[in-house]
C-alpha cells in the first residue's frame, strides 16, 4: 500500500538517565574498558531504535548515533585526522577522543556551535587532507539495526558541502578542489550501502538553509549529479530555516527533499503553493518542532497535512520532525513531579515521535481514526494555555502598556558618566572582574549537601556569606577597584534566575547534549514571566556592607535567558523577552534602592542567537536591545549600568552594542586583540569599555608582559579615560591560587600603565 510515511531524522544519544554520558566518563577516567563502553552504548543505541520501531515510525534513522559528535565521526571515517594526532597507537577510538579532547602531544580540535543551536561540533581541520574511506560506519550501523531488530534503517550522513563549509584550514578559492577530493569518498560510502541493500540514505545539508550563493548552488548541482549516479536513493535534508533557492534545490537529482516547515518563518508552504513540487520526488516535511519541548497542536498539523496533500500525492509525502531530535530531551515520562497541567502541554523526543505517528495515521486512514488523540492533545494544550500561569493579568497589562514607556535612560551617556564619575571617584583604568569567583570543591559539596537536605538553609547561607566575605577581602588586598560578590550562590547564570521568577520550571531529566558528554538542562519558560521578590539583593547588599569600595550587582539579561531555555511557543519570543526585561527591571530597581549603584546585566548569548540569515538579523537585534533596555533604563543617571559579552567578533554587532546604551561593557578579547582593535579603528565607540586582558579559559597565569601588551595595544585606538581593566570572563571554573595570581598581575600591570599617563 502506498501512503504517507512517518520518518525520523535523528534520536538523542544521551540515554533517558544519561547512561551514555556515564559510560563515556567511566571509560575516559580509566574505570571502564573499551569493550564495556562499546557494549553499553550498543545497548542504548538498540534500545533507542527499538523504541522508534515500536512506536511505528516507518523510516528510522541509523548511524545518527555518535560517541562524541557526528561531524567528528565523519572526519575520522574519512581519515581527516590532524597531523598532531596521527602518531597514536593505532587504536581508532583513542585517536577519535584525542581529537575531541586533546592529549599530551596536542591540543584538541576547536569546537563550535552547530548552526544556531547549543550543540557543539568538532571543527574538521582540512589543511592538506587526503580523504579516504577508513571506516564505513554508515554500513556498520545499518547492518547492526537490520540484524538485531530487522529494521530497514536509513543511514544519516552529513553532506559534503555542509561538511566542508563547517571545516577550516583552506582558502575559499580552494573549496572546489577540496570538494573534488571528498566526493569520491562519498560515492564509495553510497556504493557500499547500495550493495548491502540500503534503500534510502539521508544526506544532511543544513548549509542550504543559510544564505547560499549562486556559486555554492552550482556546487550542489555538480555534487548531487555525481552522487546520483551511484543509484542509491537520497533524501537531501535541510533544516533550521527556509531554503533560499527553493526551486533550484527541488530540481537537484535526488529522490527526496527534506524541508523544515517549523523554523522557516512560514515561507516554505507558501512558496510550494506557488511553485509546486516535482511529481517524481518525495517531500519529506518537517512538521513537528524538533527544537522545543512543547506539544504540537495536532489539529493544526492535520490541517497542514491537508495543505501539503494539495501539493503532493500521499505516496510522495513523509512526515518528520523539523530536525534531528538530538536537540530535545528524551521523554517527559520521567518528569513525574511536574505540575500535570504543564506536563500535559509537553512533548519531548518520544512524545514527538508519537505525534508524528498520530498525524500520519490521520492522513492515511482519516481523521475519524484519531479523534481521541486529537481530543486529548487539544485538552492538554487548552488547559496549559488557559492556566493562570499563562494568564497573569498584571503581566498582560504591562506588556500592553509598553508602547507608552519611553525605555530610555533620562540623560544621554555624556551627562550620565559625569554624574557617575562624581561619586565613584575611580582611578584612571579602573579594575574589575566579570562576576564569578572559583567554585571550589567545597562550594560544590556544600551545595550538594544543602540540596539533599543534609545541610540546613541557615548553615548553607552562612557558608555562602563566609565565601563572599573571604573574597571581598581578597579583592581588597589585590587592590581591585570595583568589587563583585562572587556568585557563589549560583550554579548557573540562567537556572538561578529561573528558580526565582514566575513562569519558569526546571526539569529533572530534561538533559540535552551540549558537547561531548556534556549535557545541559535548559529551564522551561512556560508561563508569563513575573518578578516575585528580590533575587540578588541580599547577596549584593551583604557584600557591599563589608567594604567601602563599590560592589557591582550581577544579573543575566533577557536574551541570554531565552537562548539558554526552552521558551513557550504560544506567544512570540519577543513578548517573552519583554516579560523577562520587565521582571528584571524590578530587580534592578530593588538593587538600586538598596544602595547598589553599579549593576551589571550580562548578555553573553546575544551573538549566538543571531538568525542563520542576515536578512533576519535586524529584527532580532532590535528586540534584544529593547528587552535589555527594559531591564536597565529606569535607574538614576548616576547609577552605572555594565554589561558583559563573551566573544570577540564585534564588527557586525557593534551598532547593537552601542544601542544597548550600557555605561560600561566588558568583552572577551585576549585571544583576538588584533581583530577587536580593527573594529574600534573603524567604528567610534564612546562609552566605557573593558577588553579582557587575559584568557580565563586556561589555568595558565599570564605574564606581566602579556597583560601590559594587551592593555597598551587597544589604548592606541580607545581613549584611556574610557578604558577598564578586567579578565575575559567569569572565573568560576578556575582554581583559587591561579585566580589570585592572575588578578595580582592584572593589577600590577594596570598600575604600571597608570604611571604612563
Instruction: Please report how close the Cβ of residue 518 comes to Zn ion at its closest, in angstroms.
Output: 17
Return d(Cα 513, Cα 492) in angstroms, integer.
16
Please choose, out of 390-398, 414-422, 600-608, 652-660, the segment that lies near Zn ion by the rule CB under 5 A.
600-608
Strands 501-505 and 524-531: antiparallel
Does 18 count as an annotated binding residue? yes
- The annotation status of 644 as a binding-site residue, yes or no, is yes
* Among the listed residues 455, 453, 737, 490, the one whose alpha carbon sits nearest the alpha carbon of residue 602: 490
In the complex, minimum distance from the CB of residue 742 to ligand GLN, in angstroms, rounded to a whole number: 14
Least Å distance, CB 714 to Zn ion, is 18
Taking CB under 5 A as the rule, which mask of x and - marks residues 284-313 in contact with Zn ion? Answer: ------------------------------
Decide whether 71 or 591 has the Cβ nearer to ligand GLN. Answer: 591
- Partner from Zn ion, ligand GLN, none contacting 732, C-beta within 5 to 8 A by type: ligand GLN
Q: Tell whether residue 667 is a contact of Zn ion (CB under 5 A).
A: no
Task: State the Cα–Cα distance between residues 82 and 78, nearest whole angstrom.
Answer: 12
Q: Does 693 bind Zn ion (CB under 5 A)?
A: no
Q: Is 434 annotated as a binding residue?
A: yes
Give the H or E element holding residue 724: strand 723-724
Neighbours of 378 (CB within 10 A): 14
Which one, 435 or 577, has the nearer CB to ligand GLN? 435
Q: Closest CB to ligand GLN among 117 and 432?
A: 432
Q: Which is nearer to ligand GLN, 191 or 500 (CB)?
A: 500
> Which listed option, Zn ion, ligand GLN, none, makes contact with residue 528 (CB within 5 to 8 Å by class)?
none
- The response to whether 489 counts as a known ligand-binding position is no
Phi, psi of 571, deg, nearest 5? -130, 160
The least CB distance from residue 436 to ligand GLN, in Å, is: 3
- Which residue of the chain is nearest ligand GLN when measured via CB? 730
Instruction: Return the one option of ligand GLN, Zn ion, none that residue 268 interacts with (CB less than 5 to 8 A, by type).
Output: none
Stretch binding Zn ion (CB under 5 A), from 117-125, 174-182, 501-509, 728-736: 728-736
Closest distance of CB 287 from Zn ion, Å: 37
Question: Under a CB-based contact definition with an 8 Å cutoff, are residues 113 and 610 in contact?
Answer: no
Residue 729 is labelled as binding a ligand: yes
Q: Identify which of 526, 531, 518 has the alpha carbon closest to the alpha carbon of residue 576.
A: 526
Residues whose CB falls within 8 Å of the CB of residue 343, separated by 6 or more in sequence, listed in order:
332, 335
**Between the CA atoms of 586, 588, 591 and 592, what dihedral angle is there, to the nearest 10 degrees?**
-110
Number of helices followed by number of strands (H, E) in the chain: 27, 21
If contact means CB under 5 to 8 A according to the sort of partner, which of Zn ion, ligand GLN, none does residue 554 touch? Answer: ligand GLN
CB of 62 to Zn ion, least distance (A): 39
Whole-angstrom CA distances from 471 to 723, 731, 738 are 25, 12, 14
Measuring CA to CA, how many Å separate 643 from each of 140, 289, 599?
A: 50, 33, 8
User: What Rg do the C-alpha atoms of the chain give, in angstroms?
Assistant: 27
Of the two residues 58 and 487, which places its CB atom closer to ligand GLN in the complex?
A: 487
Q: Assess contact for 510 and 293: CB atoms under 8 A.
A: yes
373 labeled binding residue: no
Q: Is 54 exposed, middle or buried (0-12, 13-18, 19+ CB in 10 A)?
A: exposed
The answer to whether 102 is annotated as binding is no
21 annotated as ligand-binding: yes
Provide the minimum distance between the beta carbon of 515 and ligand GLN in the complex, in angstroms, as a whole number. Answer: 15
Report whether 564 belongs to an annotated binding site.
Answer: yes
Q: Choose from ligand GLN, Zn ion, none: what does 464 bind? Cβ within 5-8 Å by kind.
A: none
Q: Measure the CA–CA gap between 42 and 144, rounded to whole angstroms.
A: 9
Say if residue 35 carries a ligand binding annotation: no
Given the complex with Zn ion, which of 209 and 729 has the nearer CB atom?
Answer: 729
Rounded-to-integer distance, Cα 6 and Cα 613, Å: 29
Q: Buried (b) or exposed (e) across 252-275, using 16+ Cβ within 10 A?
A: bebbbbbbbbbbbeeebbebbeee
211, 509, 510, 619 from 326: Cα distances, Å: 24, 14, 12, 28
Rounded to 5 degrees, what are φ and ψ at 437? -115, 165
DSSP letters, 126-172, are -TT-----S--HHHHHHHHHHHHH----EEEEE-HHHHHHH-BSS-G
Q: Which does 446 bind (CB under 5 to 8 A by kind): Zn ion, ligand GLN, none?
A: none
Q: How far is CA 101 from the centre of its chain?
A: 20
Q: Which of 284, 729, 740, 747 binds Zn ion (CB under 5 A)?
A: 729
Shortest Å, Cβ 554 to Zn ion: 12
Judged by beta carbon distances under 5 to 8 A according to partner kind, the member of Zn ion, ligand GLN, none in contact with residue 611 is none
The one of ligand GLN, Zn ion, none whose footprint includes residue 667, by CB under 5 to 8 A per kind, is none
For ligand GLN, the closer of residues 435 and 581 by Cβ is 435
- Cβ proximity of 312 and 319 under 8 Å: no
C-alpha cell at 526: 512556560
Residue 683 annotated as part of some ligand binding site: no
Binding-site member from 582, 646, 693, 725 for Zn ion (CB under 5 A): 646
Query: Binding partner of residue 665 among ligand GLN, Zn ion, none, CB under 5 to 8 Å per kind?
Result: none
Minimum CB distance to Zn ion smaller for 465 or for 668: 668
Nearer to Zn ion, 629 or 644 (CB): 644
Which residues lie closer than 8 Å to 431 by C-beta, 6 or more apart?
479, 480, 481, 482, 724, 725, 726, 746, 747, 750
Grid coordinates of 371 = 479523534
CA distance 561 to 498: 8
DSSP state of 337: T
Which of the residues 245, 485, 673, 697 is marked catalytic?
A: 697
Query: Where do contacts with ligand GLN occur on this chain (CB under 6 A)?
Result: 434-436, 487, 493, 554, 602, 604, 644, 646, 729-730, 732
Q: State the Cα–Cα distance between residues 725 and 433, nearest whole angstrom.
A: 8
218 contacts: CB under 8 Å, gap ≥ 6? none
578 a known binding residue?
no
Question: CB-based burial of residue 490 (10 Å sphere; 0-12 exposed, 13-18 middle, 19+ buried)?
Answer: buried
- Closest CB 643 distance from ligand GLN, rounded Å: 10
Entry field: residues in the chain: 757
Q: How far is the CB of 739 from Zn ion (least distance, A)?
A: 15
125 binds, among ligand GLN, Zn ion, none (CB under 5 to 8 A by kind): none
- Is 581 annotated among the ligand-binding residues? no
> Taking the complex as a whole, how short is the minimal distance between the CB of residue 723 and Zn ion, in angstroms?
18
Cell of 595: 544602595
697 is catalytic: yes
Nearer to ligand GLN, 571 or 610 (CB): 610
Strand-strand pairing, 552-556 and 598-602? parallel
295 vs 434, which CB is nearer to Zn ion?
A: 434
Report the catalytic residues. Answer: 697
Annotated binding site for Zn(2+): 644, 646, 668, 729
Annotated binding site: 18-21, 113, 118, 434-436, 487, 564, 602, 608, 644, 646, 668, 729
Annotated binding site for L-homocysteine: 434-436, 487, 602
Annotated binding site for L-methionine: 434-436, 487, 602
Annotated binding site for 5-methyltetrahydropteroyltri-L-glutamate: 18-21, 113, 118, 564, 608
Which parts of this chain interact with Zn ion (CB under 5 A)? 604, 646, 729
Amino acid at each position: 500500500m502506498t501512503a504517507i510515511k512517518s520518518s525520523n531524522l535523528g534520536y538523542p544519544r544521551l540515554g533517558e538517565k544519561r547512561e551514555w554520558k556515564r559510560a563515556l566518563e567511566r571509560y575516559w577516567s580509566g574505570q571502564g574498558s573499551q569493550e564495556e563502553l562499546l557494549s553499553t552504548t550498543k545497548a542504548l543505541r538498540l534500545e533507542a531504535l527499538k523504541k522508534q520501531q515500536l512506536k511505528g515510525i516507518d523510516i528510522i534513522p541509523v548511524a545518527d548515533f555518535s560517541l562524541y559528535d557526528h561531524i567528528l565521526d565523519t572526519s575520522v571515517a574519512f581519515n581527516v585526522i590532524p597531523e598532531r594526532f596521527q602518531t597514536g597507537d593505532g587504536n581508532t577510538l583513542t585517536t577519535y577522543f584525542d581529537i575531541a579532547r586533546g592529549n599530551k602531544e596536542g591540543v584538541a580540535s576547536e569546537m563550535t556551535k552547530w548552526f544556531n543551536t547549543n550543540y557543539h561540533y568538532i571543527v574538521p581541520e582540512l589543511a592538506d587532507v587526503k580523504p579516504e574511506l577508513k571506516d564505513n560506519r554508515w554500513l556498520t550501523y545499518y547492518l547492526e539495526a537490520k540484524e538485531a531488530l530487522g529494521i530497514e534503517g536509513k543511514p544519516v550522513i552529513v553532506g559534503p558541502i555542509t561538511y566542508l563549509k563547517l571545516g577550516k584550514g583552506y582558502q575559499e578559492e580552494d573549496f572546489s578542489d577540496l570538494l573534488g577530493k571528498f566526493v569520491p569518498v562519498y560515492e564509495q560510502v553510497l556504493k557500499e550501502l547500495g550493495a548491502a541493500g540500503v534503500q534510502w540514505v539521508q544526506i544532511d545539508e543544513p548549509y542550504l538553509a543559510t544564505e547560499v550563493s549562486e556559486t555554492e548552488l552550482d556546487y550542489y548541482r555538480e555534487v548531487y549529479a555525481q552522487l546520483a549516479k551511484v543509484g542509491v536513493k537520497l533524501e537531501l535534508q535541510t533544516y533550521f530555516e527556509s531554503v533560499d533557492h527553493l526551486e533550484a534545490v527541488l530540481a537537484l537529482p535526488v529522490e527526496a527533499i527534506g524541508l523544515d516547515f517549523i523554523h522557516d518563518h512560514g515561507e516554505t508552504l507558501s512558496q510550494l503553493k506557488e511553485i509546486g513540487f516535482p511529481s517524481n520526488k518525495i517531500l519529506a516535511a518537517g512538521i513537528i518542532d524538533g527544537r522545543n519541548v512543547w506539544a504540537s497542536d495536532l489539529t493544526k498539523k492535520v490541517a497542514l497535512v491537508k495543505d501539503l496533500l494539495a501539493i503532493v500525492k500521499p505516496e510522495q509525502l513523509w512526515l518528520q520532525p523539523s530536525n534531528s531530535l538530538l536537540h530535545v530531551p528524551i521523554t517527559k515520562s520521567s518528569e513525574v513531579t511536574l505540575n500535570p497541567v504543564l506536563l500535559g502541554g509537553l512533548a519531548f523526543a518520544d512524545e514527538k515521535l508519537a505525534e508524528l505517528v498520530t498525524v500520519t495515521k490521520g492522513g492515511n486512514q482519516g481523521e475519524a481514526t484519531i479523534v481521541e488523540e486529537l481530543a486529548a492533545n487539544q485538552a492538554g494544550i487548552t488547559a496549559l494555555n488557559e492556566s493562570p500561569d499563562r494568564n497573569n493579568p498584571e503581566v498582560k497589562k504591562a506588556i500592553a502598556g509598553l508602547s507608552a514607556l519611553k525605555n530610555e535612560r533620562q540623560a544621554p551617556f555624556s551627562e550620565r558618566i559625569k554624574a557617575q564619575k562624581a561619586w565613584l571617584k575611580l582611578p584612571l583604568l579602573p579594575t574589575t572582574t566579570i562576576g564569578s569567583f572559583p567554585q571550589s570543591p567545597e562550594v560544590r559539596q556544600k551545595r550538594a549537601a544543602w540540596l539533599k537536605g543534609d545541610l540546613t538553609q541557615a548553615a548553607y547561607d552562612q557558608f555562602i556569606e563566609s565565601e563572599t566575605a573571604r573574597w571581598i577581602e581578597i579583592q581588597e588586598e589585590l587592590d581591585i577597584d570595583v568589587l563583585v560578590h562572587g556568585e557563589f550562590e549560583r550554579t548557573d547564570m540562567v537556572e538561578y534566575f529561573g528558580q526565582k521568577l514566575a513562569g519558569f520550571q526546571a526539569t529533572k531529566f530534561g538533559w540535552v547534549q551540549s558537547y561531548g558528554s556534556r549535557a545541559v538542562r535548559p529551564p522551561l519558560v512556560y508561563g508569563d514571566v513575573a518578578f516575585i521578590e528580590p533575587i540578588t539583593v541580599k547577596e549584593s547588599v551583604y557584600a557591599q556592607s563589608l567594604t567601602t569600595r563599590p560592589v557591582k550587582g550581577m544579573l543575566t539579561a533577557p536574551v541570554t535567558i531565552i537562548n539558554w531555555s526552552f521558551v513557550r511557543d504560544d506567544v512570540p519570543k519577543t513578548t517573552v523577552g519583554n516579560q523577562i526585561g520587565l521582571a528584571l527591571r524590578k530587580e534592578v530597581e530593588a538593587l538600586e534602592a538598596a544602595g547598589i549603584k553599579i549593576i551589571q546585566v550580562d548578555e553573553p548569548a546575544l551573538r549566538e542567537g543571531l538568525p542563520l540569515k542576515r536578512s533576519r538579523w535586524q529584527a532580532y537585534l532590535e528586540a534584544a536591545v529593547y528587552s535589555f533596555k527594559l531591564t536597565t533604563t529606569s535607574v538614576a543617571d548616576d547609577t552605572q549600568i555594565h554589561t558583559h559579552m563573551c566573544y570577540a567578533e564585534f564588527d557586525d554587532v557593534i551598532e547593537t552594542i552601542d544601542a544597548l546604551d550600557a555605561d560600561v561593557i566588558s568583552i572577551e578579547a585576549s585571544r583576538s586583540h588584533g581583530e577587536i582593535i580593527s573594529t574600534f579603528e573603524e567604528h567610534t565607540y564612546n562609552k566605557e569599555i573593558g577588553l579582557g586582558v587575559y584568557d580565563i579559559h586556561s589555568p595558565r597565569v599570564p605574564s606581566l608582559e602579556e597583560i601590559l601588551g594587551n592593555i597598551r595595544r587597544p589604548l592606541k585606538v580607545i581613549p584611556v579615560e574610557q578604558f577598564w581593566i578586567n579578565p575575559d570572563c567569569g572565573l568560576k571554573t578556575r582554581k583559587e591560587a591561579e585566580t589570585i595570581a592572575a588578578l595580582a598581575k592584572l593589577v600590577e600591570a594596570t598600575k604600571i600603565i597608570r604611571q604612563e599617563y
